[in-house]
Structure 1
């Protein structure tokens, strides 16, 4: 394993603890201008996010109605009633984003797909980078104020849905995640810089509970005047 990745995995709880766990659950409050641009502004209602840790499967509730939830995998996204009845579903959901720009409206299944892959990625970072098929390499560090954050570039395998094939992860002196860069391919491919804050420990795993994603300028710096996506997590449990 890459040395920086080894240090980051250890700082976030260690691979042995991660392998003992199968599932994460957290309360989620999200917002930001991206959803308004997509015609689906997000309210501040807390939602419950559940993800599998060793396969890409996620669900959030409520979604669209108090008795509804999503069911996400890379090959299918659905909206279901609490008893499992399917309200709407889409196979090969990534294909529906072909030709999208930043301003192209999303339907609820598009939103469910984005939510599923994004939160699965965030709740499994950095451990997902140890999964089969990922390629990881050191990149130039990022300087933030007085700190220098070493970085990794990860190549995601075709079977994992995420923002983009190539994504960059930067870690602080304690090797906890500080910043995550990517292109949002399902929204016209705009460049994003996501800063993470307020790391906490839950059931032996350390993770940030606040994320703020901004558009990224050509110099790599975030355009702080507009928060594209905000995510606050609470009541986190790994089982």
Structure 2
């Protein structure tokens, strides 16, 4: 394992502790201009997010109406009633985004797919970088004010759905996650810089409770005048 990655994992609670856990549940409140552009402005209702840590599986509730939830996997996404009845579903959901740009409207299953892979990525970071199939290399650090944030570039394996195949993660002097860069392939491939902060400890795992994503320019600087996606996490419980 890469030395920096090992130090990062230790700072976030350690791989031994992570491997002893199976799921995380958390309350999320999300928003941002990207959802408006997609014709799905996000209301501030708190939602319960469940993520499986060692397989790509996630669910959020409520979704659309109070008695509905999503069921996300990389190759299938569905919207279900709480008793399990299927409201809508889609196999190979990534294909539905072919030809999309930033302003192409989404339907409910598109939104469910984005929520599933994005929150799975965020709530399993940085431990997902140790999963089979990920390739990790150290990259040039990013200077933020007086701090120098060391970076890891991850190449995601084909079976993992996420923003883009290549993503960059930056860590502060304490080895905690500070920033996450990627391209949003399902929305025209725009370049994003996401800041992660207000880290807390939950059941031995440290995770940021606030994330703010912005578009970034050709020099990787965030365009702070517009928040594309905001996510607040609270009440995280690992089991």
- Give TM-score scaled by structure 1 length: 1.00
Q: What's the counterpart of residue 176 of structure 1? A: 176
Alignment partners' CA distance in 1, 2:180 and 2:157: 18
Q: What's the counterpart of residue 228 of structure 2? A: 228
Alignment partners' CA distance in 2, 1:159 and 1:10: 26
Matched, 1:50 2:50: yes
Question: What is the CA distance between 1:56 and its match in structure 2?
Answer: 0.2
Matched, 1:201 2:201: yes
Q: What's the counterpart of residue 146 of structure 1? A: 146
Alignment partners' CA distance in 1, 2:179 and 2:103: 25
Which 5+ residue runs of structure 2 have no aligned equivalent?
none
Alignment partners' CA distance in 1, 2:97 and 2:192: 18
Question: What is the CA distance between 1:217 and its match in structure 2?
Answer: 0.7
Alignment partners' CA distance in 1, 2:6 and 2:141: 17
Alignment of 1:102-121 (within 5 A): 102-121=102-121
Other structure's SS at 1:43 match:
coil
Q: What's the counterpart of residue 123 of structure 2? A: 123
- CA deviation digits over 1:9-50, x for unaligned, max 9? 000000000010000000000000000000000000000000
Alignment partners' CA distance in 2, 1:149 and 1:47: 32
Matched, 1:99 2:99: yes
Question: What is the CA distance between 1:202 and its match in structure 2?
Answer: 0.1
Question: What is the CA distance between 1:147 and its match in structure 2?
Answer: 0.4
Alignment partners' CA distance in 2, 1:232 and 1:146: 26
Alignment partners' CA distance in 1, 2:238 and 2:38: 32
Q: What's the counterpart of residue 188 of structure 2? A: 188
Alignment partners' CA distance in 1, 2:181 and 2:37: 21
Q: What's the counterpart of residue 215 of structure 1? A: 215
Q: What's the counterpart of residue 7 of structure 2? A: 7
Alignment partners' CA distance in 2, 1:150 and 1:46: 33
Other structure's SS at 2:225 match:
strand
Question: What is the CA distance between 1:115 and its match in structure 2?
Answer: 0.2
Question: What is the CA distance between 1:94 and its match in structure 2?
Answer: 0.3
Alignment partners' CA distance in 2, 1:134 and 1:4: 15
Alignment partners' CA distance in 1, 2:26 and 2:186: 24
The alignment covers a number of residue pairs equal to 239
Q: What's the counterpart of residue 160 of structure 2? A: 160
- Taking only aligned residues, the RMSD between alpha carbons, in angstroms, comes to 0.3
Which 5+ residue runs of structure 1 have no aligned equivalent?
none
Q: What's the counterpart of residue 64 of structure 1? A: 64
Question: What is the CA distance between 1:185 and its match in structure 2?
Answer: 0.3
Other structure's SS at 2:113 match:
helix
Alignment partners' CA distance in 1, 2:67 and 2:58: 17
Q: What's the counterpart of residue 37 of structure 1? A: 37
Q: What's the counterpart of residue 89 of structure 1? A: 89
Question: What is the CA distance between 1:86 and its match in structure 2?
Answer: 0.1
